[in-house]
Structure 1
């Protein structure tokens, strides 16, 4: 897998410093596992940070970003299905396979809107936003919206197109409040993606804004 869309360099640097939300750490770790470019950038960022820290007085340190993600996985494993290891997970990045040991097929999807199902990852901190899986049917679009904060979306299967480009498996969309978009699934199969926000989305239509409290995003 060779992703075409990546987190911004600033996002990678913040992740290496352990200063992003748990939900963002989860998506970035999953993307980095499959992306040689971002893995290399992360290694350089961690080396740079290590050199800076060597010149500073010793202080009590919190856990690093990688350990934070794996501790999160241990605390929330099995959320989507039965106990870990009963069935092999789909071809998921390791950190997601730990969270979803029975794979995507075992997820208890819930209705969100016509053609859209979701599964919220409970126990994953995401500020005032949320972390959830979406399963969107072919041809279905997410209503146009912008963002009060940041939004990261990792594509696990299928694909979609929006105003920023075409996104397929392994791609990560790193969006902020300057982006307004309306993703539409363009694959012949459902698009399954992991999305994390640190603030609620801002829908542009009056009806969509009225429905937002019911959708919970």
Structure 2
């Protein structure tokens, strides 16, 4: 088992336990849970607390369908994929965490990576039709920098291979960077192994330099 030094924020784990996370973010958290027994146990604890609190609520009559029920019905009609929600996934022993393998397969090297900059490739992970946000893999060559950018919303990143270093520390396999809106970063990949990471964002990234902004327009980053 990998030694995890960077975990999701407690608020992110709470959203996971409640099943209320956006699909893209939930994919990153579910992948982290496959690496991290500590967070896995914490999510289970939160789920038990939530279930106990729910059981304590007094039932009330409603004149019409509850908003949450209507929302869930709408999700079902629009094929929203909730595979990431709920219980923690199985432990990760291969190249790709089990929740993610259902969408991209079990080998990162078999993906049709798309070149976007010297030493940087990307692959967009498909999400449900009604899902907002963006979920994509980045592959960064050893010593290269992921295009410097600023978050237009919250950003969750998990390392799947190698690692990177940014303004907030060094991240290795299984570690998660949980960044708030407006945070700027430019991760530098491990000089020996490079890096492959999975990144979920609420909205498109905002690149700080002119050339990356041009690449964003050309490659739909």
Same fold (TM over 0.5): yes
CA positional deviation for 1:180: 1.4
Matched residue, 2:115: 111
Matched residue, 2:54: 53
Asked if 1:171 is matched to 2:185, the reply is: no
Q: Deviations over 1:79-120 (max 9, x none)?
A: xxxxxxxxxx94322212322334112111111111111111
CA contact (8 A) 1:152 1:175 kept: yes
TM-score (norm 1): 0.81
CA positional deviation for 1:126: 5.2
Aligned CA RMSD, in angstroms, stands at: 2.4
Asked if 1:68 is matched to 2:82, the reply is: yes
Three-state SS of the structure 2 residue aligned to 1:158 is strand
Matches of 1:54 and 1:143 in 2, distance apart?
Answer: 48
CA positional deviation for 1:173: 0.7
TM-score (norm 2): 0.80
Q: Deviations over 1:156-196 (max 9, x none)?
A: 10110000110110001111124211101124123111111
Moved over 4 A (4+): 58-63
Matches of 2:113 and 2:159 in 1, distance apart?
Answer: 17
Matches of 2:38 and 2:147 in 1, distance apart?
Answer: 32
CA positional deviation for 1:208: 2.8
Task: Show structure 2 runs of 5+ residues with no match.
Answer: 61-65, 74-80, 86-92
Task: Show structure 1 runs of 5+ residues with no match.
Answer: 72-88
Q: Given the alignment, which residue of 141, 148, 155 partners 2:152? A: 148
Three-state SS of the structure 2 residue aligned to 1:98 is helix
Matched residue, 1:10: 11
